[in-house]
Amino acid sequence: MRVVGIETEYGITDPGNPGANPILLSSRLVQACRVWSGNSATRWDYGGEDPLMDLRGMRRERRYATADLLTDSPEYSEANRGVTLRRRRGSWEDPAHVNAVLANGARFYVDHAHPEYSGPEVTSAHDAVVWDVAGDRISAAAAAQMRADGDDVALYKNNVDGKGASYGTHENYLVQRSVDFDDLARRLTPHLVSRQVVVGAGRVGLGQFGQQAGFQISQRADYIEAEVGLETTLRRPIVNTRDEPHADRRRWRRLHIIVGDANSMEVPTFLKVGTTSLVLSAVEAGDERLDVLELADPVAEVSAVSRDLALRYRMRLASGESATALEIQRALVTIARDYVSDEADARVIDRWERVIDALGRNPFEAARDVEWVAKLQLLGRMRERYAVLDADGTMILPDWDDDRLQAADLQWSELGTGLAARLSAAGAVERIVSDADIERAMTTPPSTTRAWLRGRMVSQRGDVVDAASWSTIVLDRDSEHGHLEVLTLPDPLVTSHHLVDTLLAEAGPAHTPTRD
Amino acid sequence: MPQTTSSSSPFEDDAPEPDAPAAPAAQANTDALDSLLDEIDDTIQTNASQFVRSFVQKGGQ
């Protein structure tokens, strides 16, 4: 059982006004999300960030908040688990940095020039899918609210605009602090480079600006330029070094993976999180079988693998041998199998192996499970449809820079009415979670992590909650509003806290959501 | 980039050929693809260029 979470930055447009300011659009969307939530959403507690972390990787607004925090240094009691006091933060909110902490434990906010849904902490690949798809539906509901209020907006769950911009879908994994970071990066990298053949979302266009016509496996591949680094917006690394665990930093690090694609299908999200978590278990155990998979030039191989639709490209290994992405994935299944700890892990291995086998036989056999294949199949069909006959009767297919193919690639991931959503509705792709579970996860937090405390406090005790973050809940119970109490929750797996439990009990049992 | 000219291979030259005989599930998928393409045909034929041109995002993380 590993704590994981997914963050998604959505593409955002005003269909009637392409020049609309994306920061304002995103800000309105978050405001609309608050309205959708019945104004139960709460603010973000920037004080919950750890001021001792490496500042170079922080977001700008957190840097400002840290200065504010330091003047009101929280005094922790009971070894970081008690309640502490600090001065109330101003009630003014910067519209460019507006936040909504939701009843399901997620954070919905403006990040740079995109709306971002950061899902609550979960403990299985299955739950990661449930609360990720719930985020898509919350975002779509916020967009519907915004349209009802007279502002048009469309959201896209992709990572590129084809004009040079990329925005991320990040995975977070809680990893033991005791693992040497260099070993972690070295042993995990072959998986991050090769897994795209299983979980890539597919992209029309080659190069950061789509300057070359073609179809490739991964949205994100052409934007990865370093092996390891702290940056997330330039010289993006395969393994990111941001060290902000949102947990007891003596025990944990939060591994922040930025190389992955946004997925509009459930199986890729399930496998992306499930396989990476199992490989991390092998890394934590110091499994030396991973060493033979080390790549000679991992950065170059990310885009080389992404361009190889036949899955025959051989990567050069550090040992001098070579291997295809599928061969590396197959070797990783064999290793990962030894780290299966429960039925949920076993389902990951089973699905992973079946997808690899299908891809190995004929990639199109995996079209129901693998997003780039599903997209390639649809767009391939589209090329046949728009083919023209030349003078001697030969059929000429439109090239990949045809506007209709590029438009379909973008429309693939549109929330609500996108092509992926329509294929799913038509039963053409595998579903692994139920609509009932997703519906419930829009307003209910996972019961296996501290999100269970955060989300219920937001929905049931909005009267006393001033703000919240991953590791804090800020209470405002003083009748004069003169003091805020900061409740710290450094253990992501804590699901009970005496004060929270008391406050929730006061709210009465009628509102308590059923625990899984 | 050279045009791919064979109607049996709508993908890149190095793309996998769908060489296995179509299974029933694959046939169902094909039907779903075709009806979806029917649905979007009008819009995509008329609006694709402008839509692609105006889809501009700011870089993120």
How do strand A4-9 and strand A114-118 relate by DSSP bridges? antiparallel
- Digit-coded pLDDT (tens) for A327-356: 999 999 999 999 999 999 999 999 999 999
pLDDT at A171 exceeding the cut of 80: yes
- According to the model, what pLDDT value does residue A92 have? 65
- According to the model, what pLDDT value does residue A89 have? 45
Nearest C-alpha in A relative to B14: A310
For residue A148 the two structure tokens come to: 């009802």
ipTM of the shown complex = 0.85
Q: What is the largest CA-CA distance in chain B?
A: 45
* Total beta-carbon pairs less than 8 A apart between chain A and chain B: 162
Q: Do B26 and A367 touch (CB under 8 A)?
A: yes
Q: Do B60 and A394 touch (CB under 8 A)?
A: no
pLDDT at B41 exceeding the cut of 50: yes
- Digit-coded pLDDT (tens) for A267-304: 999 999 999 999 999 999 999 999 999 999 999 999 99
- What is the pTM assigned to this prediction? 0.89
How far off is chain B from A426, nearest CA to CA, in Å? Answer: 6
B58 touches A at CB < 8 Å: yes
Q: Number of C-alpha atoms within 13 angstroms, CB side, residue A210?
A: 25
Nearest C-alpha in B relative to A234: B61
Q: Say which residue the tokens 């079946």 belong to.
A: A354
Please compute the mean of the pLDDT values over residues A128-138 and round it to a whole number: 98
Active-site residues of A, by number, are: 111
pLDDT at A76 exceeding the cut of 60: no
| Buried b or exposed e, range A225-240, using 16+ CB within 10 angstroms | bbbbbbbbeeebbbbb
**Alpha-helix runs per DSSP H in A174-290:** 181-194, 196-199, 266-284
Q: Do A361 and B20 touch (CB under 8 A)?
A: yes
Select from B1, B37, B49 the Cβ nearest to the Cβ of A382: B37
Please compute the mean of the pLDDT values over residues A229-250 and round it to a whole number: 83
Average pLDDT, chain A: 89
Give residues with Cβ within 8 angstroms of A377, minimum separation 6.
Answer: A364, A367, B29, B33
Q: Do B33 and A168 touch (CB under 8 A)?
A: no
**Alpha-helix runs per DSSP H in B1-61:** 24-54
- According to the model, what pLDDT value does residue A80 have? 38
B22 touches A at CB < 8 Å: no
pLDDT at A53 exceeding the cut of 80: no
- Digit-coded pLDDT (tens) for A157-167: 999 999 999 99
